[in-house]
Structure 1
Amino acid sequence: MPSATRVLVNQVGYLPHGPKRATVVTDSALPVSWQLVDASGSPVTGGLASPPRHDAASGLTVQVVDLTDVTEPGSGYTIVVDGATSHPFAIDPGLYQRLRYDALDFFYLARSGTPIDAAVVGDLYARAAGHVGAHPNEGDTDVPCIGPRDYYDGWTGSYRLDVHGGWYDAGDHGKYVVNGGIAVAQLLGLYERALHAPTGDPDALDDGTLRIPEHGDGVPDVLSEARWELEWMLRMQVPEGEALAGMVHHKVHDEGWTGLPMLPADDPRPRSLHRPSTAATLNVAAVGAQGARLFRPFDAAFADRLLAAARRAWDAATEHPDLYAPAAAGRDGGGPYDDTDVTDERYWAAAELYLTTGEDTFRSAVLDSPGHTADVFGAAGPDWGSTGGLGRMDLATIPNDLPGLDDVRRSVVEAADRYLAVQAAEGFATTYAGVDGHYGWGSTSMVANTLVVVGTAFDLTGDPVYREAVLEGMDHLLGRNALGRSYITGYGSVSSTNQHSRWFARSLDPALPPPPRGSLAGGPNSLVETWDPVMLAALDPEAAPQTCYVDHVESWASNEITVNWNSALAWVASFVADQGSGAGAPAWPTS
């Protein structure tokens, strides 16, 4: 058994009126007895676990303990089963308030092109600005298009762009529009949810709530953080007069991979812009439109810029509908983020432009899209390469006059029901079962993204079954899993601490900081899916999917941190923080 205990719990705890379940690993053929013990060691209650079952994802035989009826707040609770004791946990309505902010504060620490201010984050996480052209760094203020490459059919541009700013995508120094697109959409989306959902709390996201420099401007901090990325995305748009004017460069990064550890300001390699892509362009159309409607009350001029860029991107993507990012573009120091199907991005962009403008052109584009009647929710929920669900959920929740909205809303709830069916069959409460029995790269983000869909179903229906499923899904991320590990740094008795990063790399250089609290590790990745040498050396080739994880700074396939994984975590953390004690709420207002 990989975990130090056979009794696996949410190591942070449970809401007083939410579900409270734990998983016990045992070979017993009969239900085992359990006891809940308080911080003083006194028994509180007990009972029998559920009948045993085999959990395919972990390869373990498990039973489930249910203490949902216990509602008394407190800390230091443990569950004892047959001489084994769980990690301690709390019962508290305020459990997730700090996680909401820590998950969002991650983004300031990922900023490129600006110093990270010690006055904001403390000396440990302060650093010099990266990629601004200060020696030895060539910077992002005057970046050329990459030279001719076979995978771009000889394309190159003759211009140079200032593309400073934005967020570093992951553990490297690259910046990618499609990864940034879903990340910024989820930050904008969690704020928009707070404005409309019955349990939403926009005051919890107001000016002054996050650890960022932009305080006192009257703009909600989550929007200020999203703006940092949006401004960069606008800089990635091809200027007028060029052959692909209005299109958006897919990515900017080093020519050749840098090693670990390395602060952004110490990166000595030249940078280059990669060819524009239809996917990146439609990302800008989508988030530009979404941002325009949310920034309108705070900065009308910026909202106008965003909407103008979104329209320009939509037109350019219509003119160039099949300019795809190739897989071979991963040879030169950055991930390829290849995608040869952009019908989902086009549907998403049409939805956001319609919601912002109400114009017939975009209404028709939504209704005529094959994505509008397709199942846009796969096993992993929305992700950078499957964005149709983002548009579908916004159409379902943001007031609008699109015909057939009942069907739109029903499709979200039906997708949530499929994730609930997965969760019911799993021994460790996850809503993600993998594909063909295998866990993909970034599996914890897939758990989080399915929970976004389930949370949206709760907002739409008010049915507590969906709220409870989100809370149980958080249990999985916070320690109720085969490894007994919280995948969120700083949360739980045993959490990931050595995520793959060039500058959150204390395990390689004691002068550098560790990953910050609230950063989501990528999580288990089936060995058949990876060529990560650290994982291959450390794990049994027959390891079950849920155990394919190594907390090592060089395990990029199981332990990386990325902006689009933390954005999904931030959405879910904000949702559960809004649930208070776990009591019910009415459905989302739909008119």
Structure 2
Amino acid sequence: MSTIRRLLAISVCTSVLAACGGGGGGGGSTSVPNNPPPPPPPPPPQSSARIEGDGPFLVVDQFGYRTDMEKIAVIRNPVTGFDADDLIDPADEYLVVDEATGTTVLTVLPTEWNGGASHSGSGDEAWWLDFSAVTAPGTYTIRDSEDLVVSASFEIGDDVYDDVLKAALKVMFYQRAGFAKDAAYVGTGWADGASHVGPGQDTEARLYSAPGDASTERDLHGGWYDAGDYNKYTNWTADYVISLLTSYMERPAIWTDDVGIPESGNGIPDILDEVKWGLDWLIRMQNADGSVLSIVGLDGASPPSAATGPSTYGPESSSATLTTAAAFALASEVYGGLGDATLSTYAADLEQRAEEAWDWAVANPDVTFRNNDSAMGSQGLGAGQQEVSDEARAEKKLSAAIYLAHATGESGYHDYVTANYSASKMVGSFYINGFEANSQRDLLFYTSVSGANPTVATTILDRYETAMAGSNELWQAVDGEIDPYRAYLGAYTWGSNAVKSRTGMLYVQQASYGLGTQSVDAAMAAGAGYIHYLHGVNPLGLVYLSNMAAEGAKKSVDTFYHTWFSDGSALWDSVSGSTYGPAPGFLVGGANPSYDWDSCCPTGCGSAANNNQCGITPPAPPAGQPTQKSYLQFNDGWPLNSWQVTENSNGYQTDYIRLLSKYVD
């Protein structure tokens, strides 16, 4: 129970009794009685030898734990990083307390992580508190006997994530472009009119290279703001559609019709209503020849309805067309199976569109378009680069063939998969990680498609199982207890929270497909570690979702980069400093050790006022920190560029939704 800085405050004193004798000032002597009193008893065990600083020192999943879950809280003692002056010497035992009754239901002894070593990825020493034995539903805290360290309160129950999942899904509604957010659905704080439907905007969008040519006008309204910017990217939107459809297909019974969007109560699960909003936009993006436009660039303002600038679009590309073909094909199967006549007609149209997109992409395999690229003359169109590499485009073609084989049953698509699946990283290189999640998901899906080549299916499953066991970033990291926060990543980058969700899904997929030597419970526990990290079991004790106090979070994201919830907004800048703060449920990017301020800083940003925004050195955190502490709650735009750390993305959101849904009944 010691650390290199633990203080032992126990002292042992020895008493010597002296007797003074003789009258008349005669000499004295020292004597010891024949029956000396017993020595004083040792002091009782201390709750904590020492605490300095604000912590947090004891982190938990602030939403809680399912009754049957493994439940492990983390005590953390910072050694390096911005909080290195904080200090805890853990108590000998901790109490799990029922908040309703004040009763201690379990006493837990801390288990030292890795022999007391400091973890380089977080800069912390750590101890684990395993309270899995607590299964009774209720509200709890964990504390030492003197209440020097008390965790955030949390729930135990089988419905602890239900409302969190609804809030996460509702984020997609907040992100809708061209759709009014009425107060009846979002409250007064985030009510706003339909955005980007004025003159020259989405209903009259023009080709980026011919903004003065009215003959290029297209009605491209709808879709979702992609992230903290309002641009709409076909490749990514189609990916979000596939991810949400997959979430539905994997657990159709959990999806409700009461999320609180205008379509709620129509008899269709709200997740499918939301997906249809994205699909309808993709339909508008498709040309008559089957090809699909790549991007629509939108103006920014806060709130979104205040934007008045024009909307422009980029041309068709092979990658956008292939990703859309995959989305249409998968959607045709889902909506065609709902037993609704109107949606069955819709599904048939989607299937035809998917095949037309495939045919165009086969005939035009190498058509690319790079937005926001001076070499293409597209600077200012969008923000992130939606075009992909040749290798990634081949992966997209394989995925499109997989979903078309599922939708149509035609042998040509199966033949394409058989001829090309071995070129994928997972099959060809036994390579699995959270960065390649989409292609791995799609290959696993193919193993259950009717008519799949049995050898192909067996090989895919074998590669997945072998790669999971053989990677030092997956089961070896779990078994070796490499990460004290129990959500190991081999690398942290921009958007690390998305990779957390995707990596958690790797274990869940193993359980779902019956692979590996580990039990289903072990695989699900490994996946849940990534949920707990996002919910507060991290060095910051931060729930990486925005404004979630209403769902039980003690410390959730206060501010993040988003054009709507902009820096300095009196209404939406932050939960703590503005009237409403950002809307709830947005998953932010997460720890990013590669963060840097703009290259113009500190003295070359064009004016003294701009330079003053830089400060003297990059903000630390996120700069100069252990990996998992490379995060700061800020939403500054240029030149501090907080979007590298705190911006949301629909990709982060849909990955999180998929993982969380596996822990909801």
TM class by shorter chain equals 0.7 to 0.9
Q: Which residue of 2 aligns with 1:583?
A: none
Q: Which residue of 2 aligns with 1:588?
A: none
Q: Which residue of 2 aligns with 1:309?
A: 353
Alignment-derived partner of residue 422 in structure 1:
477
Going from structure 1 to structure 2, the CA distance change for 1:525 and 1:450 (only over 3 Å counts) comes to same
Corresponding position of 1:144: 206
Counterpart Cα distance in 2 of 1:416 and 1:186: 21
Correspondence for 1:152: none
Counterpart mapping for 1:560-575 below 5 A: 560-575=647-662
Query: Which secondary structure state, in structure 2, belongs to the residue aligned with residue 392 of structure 1?
Result: helix
Q: Is the 8 A contact 1:13 1:95 kept in 2?
A: yes
Answer yes or no: is the 8 Å Cα contact 1:451–1:473 preserved in 2. yes
What is the correspondence of 1:264-303 to structure 2 with a 5 Å cutoff? Answer: 264-297=304-337, 298=340, 299-303=343-347
Pairwise CA distance, 1:376: 8.2
1:76 Cα offset (Å): 2.6
Pick from 370, 380, 391 the counterpart of residue 442 of structure 2: 391
1:168–1:513 distance in 2 versus 1, CA, 3 Å: farther
Change in Cα spacing, 1:157 to 1:95, as seen in structure 2 (3 Å) is same
How far 1:73 moved relative to its partner? 2.6
The answer to whether structure 1 residue 450 and structure 2 residue 537 are counterparts is no
Query: The residue matched to 2:526 in structure 1 has which SS?
Result: helix
Query: CA, structure 1 residues 459+399, in 2 after alignment: closer, same or farther (shift >3 Å)?
Result: farther
Give the conservation status (yes or no) of the 8 Å contact 2:623–2:630: no
- Secondary structure of 2:446 counterpart: helix
**For 1:61, what is the secondary structure of its paired residue?**
strand
Which deviations, in whole Å up to 9, do the C-alpha atoms of 1:491-527 show, x marking residues without a partner?
5211112121122348623277533332211111113
Provide Cα deviations, 1:435-465, integer angstroms capped at 9, x if missing partner: xxxx211111110111222222221227211
Matched AA of 1:576: Y
- Counterpart AA for 1:292: S
- Report the residue type matching 1:309 in the other structure: R
What's the offset of the Cα at 1:540?
A: 6.5
Amino acid of the residue matched to residue 425 of structure 1?
Answer: I
Structure-2 residue corresponding to 1:348: 399
Return closer, same or farther for 1:478/1:29 CA change in 2, 3 Å cut-off.
closer
In the alignment, does 2:633 pair up with 1:551? yes
In 2, Cα distance between the equivalents of 1:3 and 1:357? 60
Counterpart position of 2:639: none
The 1:440/1:475 distance shift into structure 2, 3 A limit, reads same
Distance in structure 1 (CA, Å) of the matches to 2:145 and 2:532: 19
**Residue 429 and residue 306 in structure 1: after superposition, are their counterparts in 2 closer, same or farther (change >3 A)?**
same
Helix, strand or coil at the partner of 1:432: coil
- Secondary structure of the corresponding residue to residue 36 of structure 1: strand
CA distance in 1, matches of 2:520, 2:124: 32
In the other structure, the counterpart of 2:379 is 331
Deviation for aligned residue 1:377 = 5.9
The structure, 1 or 2, with the larger RCO (C-alpha pairs under 8 Å, 6+ apart) is 1
**Quick check: 1:78 aligned with 2:142?**
yes
Amino acid at match of 1:295: Y
Change (3 A) 1:267 1:375: farther
Deviation track 1:420-440 (CA, whole Å, cap 9, x = no partner) reads 433431111114231xxxx21
CA contact (8 A) 2:414 2:452 kept: no
Aligned match of 1:219 = 268
Q: 1: distance between equivalents of 2:191 and 2:358?
A: 38
- Give the match's secondary structure for 2:109: strand
1:470 to 510, 521, 527: 527
What is the rounded CA distance, in whole Å, between the counterparts of 1:79 and 1:112 in structure 2?
Answer: 46
Deviations 1:24-81 (A, max 9, x none): 2237999963312302554421213133233222122222222223323321321439
Name the SS for the 2:312 alignment partner.
Answer: strand
Q: Which has the larger displacement, 303-312 or 68-77? A: 68-77
Q: 1:91 to 1:181 in 2, by over 3 A?
A: same
Q: Is the 8 A contact 2:119 2:484 kept in 1?
A: yes
Give the aligned partner of residue 187 of structure 1. Answer: 244
Of 122, 127, 144 in structure 1, the residue corresponding to residue 192 of structure 2 is 127
SS in 1 for 2:118: strand
Structure 2 equivalent of residue 357 of structure 1: 408
Q: CA deviation at 1:348?
A: 1.0
Aligned to 1:23: 74
Among 423, 427, 440, the alignment partner of 1:373 is 427
1:113 deviates by: 1.5
Q: Distance in 1 between matches of 2:521 and 2:544?
A: 26
Q: For 1:502, give the aligned amino acid.
A: T
Task: Give yes or no for the alignment of 1:205 onto 2:255.
Answer: yes
Which secondary structure state, in structure 2, belongs to the residue aligned with residue 343 of structure 1? helix
Tell me the percent identity.
Answer: 24
The yes-or-no answer on 1:527 pairing with 2:594 is: yes
Pick aligned residue for 1:495 from 556, 560, 565: 556
| TM-superposition CA deviations, 1:70-128 (whole Å, max 9, x none) | 32332132143994332222222211111121111111111112212222232222210
Contact 1:142–1:160 (CA under 8 A) maintained in structure 2: yes
**Does the aligned pair in 2 maintain the 1:507–1:514 contact within 8 Å?**
no
CA 1:541–1:522: 2 relative to 1, 3 Å:
closer
Distance 1:81 1:355, change over 3 A: farther
Return the alpha-carbon distance in structure 2 between the equivalents of residues 402 and 79 of structure 1.
56
2:111 is the counterpart of 1:49: yes
- Number of equivalences: 545
- 2:152 is matched with 87
Farther-moved stretch of structure 1 (293-302 vs 57-66): 57-66
SS in 1 for 2:557: coil
Q: Residue 462 of structure 2 aligns to a residue in which SS?
A: helix
Partners of 2:64 and 2:411 in 1: CA distance: 48
- Determine the structure 2 residue equivalent to 1:318: 362
The answer on whether the counterparts of 2:196 and 2:308 sit within 8 Å (CA) in structure 1 is: no
Hey, what's the Cα distance between the residues in 1 that align with 2:543 and 2:570? 24
Amino acid at match of 1:551: Q
Distance 1:281 1:487, change over 3 A: same
Q: Scaled by the length of structure 2, what TM-score is found? A: 0.76
- Following superposition, the deviation at residue 415 of structure 1 comes to 4.9
CA contact (8 A) 2:545 2:587 kept: yes
TM-score, normalised by the number of residues in structure 1: 0.85
Change beyond 3 A, Cα 1:498–1:397: farther
Please say if 1:504 is aligned against 2:554: no
Q: Secondary structure at the match of 1:33?
A: coil
The answer as to whether partners of 1:549 and 1:558 remain within 8 angstroms in 2 is yes
1-side partners of 2:510 and 2:214: how far apart?
A: 45
CA distance in 2: counterparts of 1:505 and 1:336, whole angstroms? 23
Instruction: Please state how far the C-alpha of 1:552 moved relative to its aligned partner.
Output: 1.6
- Partner of 2:74, secondary structure, is strand
Counterpart AA for 1:373: V
- Following TM superposition, by how much is the alpha carbon of 1:398 offset from its aligned partner in structure 2, in angstroms? 5.2
Asked if structure 1 preserves the Cα contact closer than 8 Å seen for 2:293 and 2:315, the reply is yes
Give the 3-state SS of the residue equivalent to 1:274 in structure 2.
strand
Q: 1:549 to 1:331 in 2, by over 3 A?
A: farther
> By how many angstroms is 1:174 displaced?
0.4
Distance 1:400 1:115 in 2: 44
User: Where do 5+ consecutive residues of structure 2 fail to align?
Assistant: 1-51, 80-86, 573-578, 602-613, 637-641
What CA distance in whole angstroms lies between the structure 2 residues aligned with 1:221 and 1:122? 19
What displacement does 1:531 show? 4.5
How many angstroms does 1:209 deviate by?
Answer: 2.7
